[in-house]
Structures are given as structure tokens and as C-alpha cells.
Amino acid sequence: MTTTTKTLVTGIQPTGRLHIGNYFGAFHQFVELQNTHESYFFIADLHAITSSEIQKDSQKFNEFINNIVLDSLALGVNPDKTCIYNQSEIPEISEIMWILSNFITVPTLSLGHAYKAAKSSKKELMFGLFAYPLLMASDILSVSADVVPVGKDQKQHLELTREIARKFNSNYKCDLLKIPGGHFCDMEEVVGTDGRKMSKSYKNTIPLFSGKENIKKSVMGIITDSKKEGEPLDPSTCTVFKYHTIFSKGALSDIEGRYKSGKINYKESKEILVDSIISYFAPFEEKRKEYENNSQLVSEILEKGTAQARGKIVEILNQIKKTVGIL
Ligand code: TYM
């Protein structure tokens, strides 16, 4: 790896099965960029504990973690090009978080979207959720990332990361912490089956690797208007059509024509979509089975990825400590 190679990092929370929002928000770009970057991909298990759902069932949480490793490998995160690791296996990330916590104010963290949402829904306000962006900053700054491929919902977290890095650098008059850039997908954000942002917490996802029946169930449940048989449908406002623009590219103009001329109903449009989604992800399903049947290989991948990433993170932690005056 030459010194001019840029560094890439992204993380996924194991809070349930992956969905197509995760795929287009993060994986799609990451898989391309890993070919030209020094790359780090991790399972954000420490972030996931901030979810009260995750706190209810530790065995299920553990299954989610294992599944996301397999899903990620199947979706093209390449262990020959990328360090793959569980965040909790590298304790130095949390140590860096503590030091960085002194370079962000409580009022700034109070502006975090997730914290504000929890506050307005009158949920119990836990410190972990409040500090979520700070841990994310540590994930990013601990590998000196140049680029972070994420969905647009993570924009605020990236801005906070930059703010922390700038404050640290300015306080110590150094440029130790690299200011990262974002890398967002072209889509504003992948919508869920109810038209809101696709999110596990809204239960409006189209899941990956959960079997054809679950894809069918989600797609058939997409909310549409109540136009009568034979009436023209409006593709510009239809959630089913939005998904066709991603998955049915070859047949898109035909489907659009049938929408406008009233020659398709929502049921048929959804059935076409189910087939398109299943064939889009079929090669990934095959690859996932291969990894599922080779748990030894998966353990080796994680061990190697953790060791390599940890080496770099320890080095950065030591530089941070030296800068602060601890070493
Ligand atoms: P998570 O698991 O919630 O989401 C993982 C990735 O999927 C993207 N995403 C979406 N993109 C488009 N449309 C959607 N509907 C949609 N839903 C999810 C997210 O933007 C994200 O890129 N905070 C991160 C995890 C994390 C992280 C990091 C990421 C922790 N530390 C450091 C990058 C770098 C998250 O929300 O994960």
C-alpha cells in the first residue's frame, strides 16, 4: 500500500437483518471503493447496544452479529482487500472515545438526531445513545479515514466527527486527526414500504437474506393509493415504482408505460418487483451459503482483520496519548 492511498471505513449495526437501505446506503459504494482504498469494515456491535430492543435478548443479538458478518462477506466485502472486524474486539476504540469526549460539548451532542428523537418520544434517555456520535467519531478517526461511505442519514454524525477532530487538532496545534469526507449514495435515502425512510425501527424494511417469502411479504405490504382497476397510475408518487427504478431497470420503460396507460395494477407491479429483487440478490445468496458452510474460514477472516486494524488503531491511540501528554 503506498502512502498516497486513501483510507476508507464504514460500519453496520447488528440490530437485525440487513435491508436494501443498508445495501444501497453503504455496501454498494464500499464494495467498489475497497478496490482503490486501504479499507476497514466493521460490525458496530457497541453501537447496537444503545438499542433497547437489542438489550432484551442477548442470544438473538449474538445471532445478528454472526449473520451480519456472513451477509457482509456475501455482499462483496472482500477480506483480501479489507480488514473486517467487530468493533468490540478492539478496546482501544473505546479508549480513544474517552479522550475525544473532552473535545465535544454536551449542547452539541444534545443536537444529535437519535437523541432528540428519543427525547421527544419521552423514552428513558440513556447516556449510550447520547454518546453514540462520539463512538462513531472514534471509529472513523482511529483509522485516519479519508472517506466514509454511508447513507445520508449519517451526515450529521460525520459533521460531528469533523468538529471533534478540528477541536482536538486546534487545541494541540497539530494535524494528527484526519478530517474525513463522506461518500453518500446517489439516492436521497431508500424509502421503506410505508413511504418513510427504510429503517429497522419503523418495521418497514425489505430484508436481505431472509428468504423469498419474507421479500414477498414485505413487497406485497407496500402502501399504495386506492386507484381502481384500469385507472392510470402515477409512477412519480408510487413507492413500488421507486423500487422498480432500482431493480427492474431493463423493463422500466415498459412498466412506466403500463402505469400511465392503466394497463397494470399494483398487485401485478408488486409481483414483478418481487421477481426483480429476488434475481438481483440471487448471486449474493449463493455466496452467503459458501461462507455459512465454512465457519473456520470466517473466524480466520475476522482474526486477521481484527489484528491488522488493531495494529493501526493502537498506533493512532499512542500518538493521541503522546499529544495529550499521557505517554
Ligand atoms: P446502520 O446499521 O443503522 O446503517 C448502516 C448503513 O446503512 C445506511 N442506511 C441507509 N441508507 C439509505 N437509505 C436508508 N433507508 C438507510 N438505512 C440505513 C446508513 O446510513 C449506514 O451507512 N451509525 C452507523 C453505524 C456506524 C458507522 C460508524 C458507519 C457506527 N460507526 C463509522 C460509518 C463509520 C449506522 O447507522 O449503521
The predicted-structure confidence for 66-123, as pLDDT tens digits, reads as follows: 999 999 999 999 999 999 999 999 999 999 999 999 999 999 999 999 999 999 998 8
Probe target for ligand 1 pocket from 8, 17, 22, with the most ligand atoms within 8 Å of CB: 22
Span from the CA of 149 to the centroid of ligand 1 (angstroms):
9
Strands 147-150 and 38-43: unpaired
Span from the CA of 229 to the centroid of ligand 1 (angstroms):
39
Alpha helices in the chain (DSSP H): 20-22, 28-33, 45-48, 58-74, 92-100, 106-109, 113-120, 127-141, 155-171, 212-220, 239-247, 252-260, 266-292, 295-324
Probe target for ligand 1 pocket from 7, 9, 10, 12, with the most ligand atoms within 8 Å of CB: 12
For residue 13, give the 3-state DSSP assignment.
coil
Residue 108 CB-density burial (10 A; 0-12 exposed, 13-18 middle, 19+ buried): middle
Please state the atom number of ligand 1 nearest to the C-alpha of residue 26: 22
Q: What is the arithmetic mean of pLDDT over 220-227? A: 93
Span from the CA of 127 to the centroid of ligand 1 (angstroms):
20
Nearest CA owner, ligand 1 atom 29: 11
Contact, 207 vs 199, CB < 8 A? no
What integer best gives the mean pLDDT of the chain?
95
Percentage of residues of the chain with pLDDT beyond 70: 98
State residue 186's pLDDT score: 67
Span from the CA of 22 to the centroid of ligand 1 (angstroms):
6
Best CA proximity match to 89, nearest among 313, 311, 254, 310: 310
Nearest CA owner, ligand 1 atom 5: 12
For residue 103, give the 3-state DSSP assignment.
helix
Span from the CA of 287 to the centroid of ligand 1 (angstroms):
23
Span from the CA of 240 to the centroid of ligand 1 (angstroms):
23
For residue 197 and ligand 1, the question of a CB distance below 6 A is answered with: yes
What the block records as the C-alpha cell of 239 is 413507492
For residue 143, give the 3-state DSSP assignment.
coil
For residue 247, give the 3-state DSSP assignment.
helix
For residue 118 and ligand 1, the question of a CB distance below 6 A is answered with: no
Nearest CA owner, ligand 1 atom 3: 13
Please state the atom number of ligand 1 nearest to the C-alpha of residue 189: 13
**CA atoms in the 13 A half-sphere facing the CB of 218:** 28
Contact, 317 vs 96, CB < 8 A? yes
For residue 272 and ligand 1, the question of a CB distance below 6 A is answered with: no
Task: Say which residues have a Cβ less than 8 Å from residue 96's Cβ, sequence separation at least 6.
Answer: 138, 141, 142, 313, 316, 317, 320
Rg (C-alpha) for the chain, rounded Å, is: 21
Which bin fits 262, alpha (ψ -120 to 50), beta or left (φ > 0)? Answer: left
Q: For 4, which DSSP code?
A: T
Please state the atom number of ligand 1 nearest to the C-alpha of residue 187: 12
Which bin fits 180, alpha (ψ -120 to 50), beta or left (φ > 0)? Answer: beta
Span from the CA of 44 to the centroid of ligand 1 (angstroms):
10
Q: What is the arithmetic mean of pLDDT over 36-63? A: 97
Distance CA 260, CA 61 (A): 45
The residues that bridge with 83 in the sheet, in sequence order, are 40
> Which of 105 and 2 is assigned the larger pLDDT?
105
Task: Say which residues have a Cβ less than 8 Å from residue 38's Cβ, sequence separation at least 6.
Answer: 1, 5, 6, 7, 8
- 63 falls in which pLDDT band (50, 70, 90)? very high
Span from the CA of 220 to the centroid of ligand 1 (angstroms):
26
Please state the atom number of ligand 1 nearest to the C-alpha of residue 145: 34
State residue 104's pLDDT score: 98
- 184 falls in which pLDDT band (50, 70, 90)? confident
Please state the atom number of ligand 1 nearest to the C-alpha of residue 197: 15
Please state the atom number of ligand 1 nearest to the C-alpha of residue 14: 2
What the block records as the C-alpha cell of 110 is 444534545
State residue 187's pLDDT score: 65
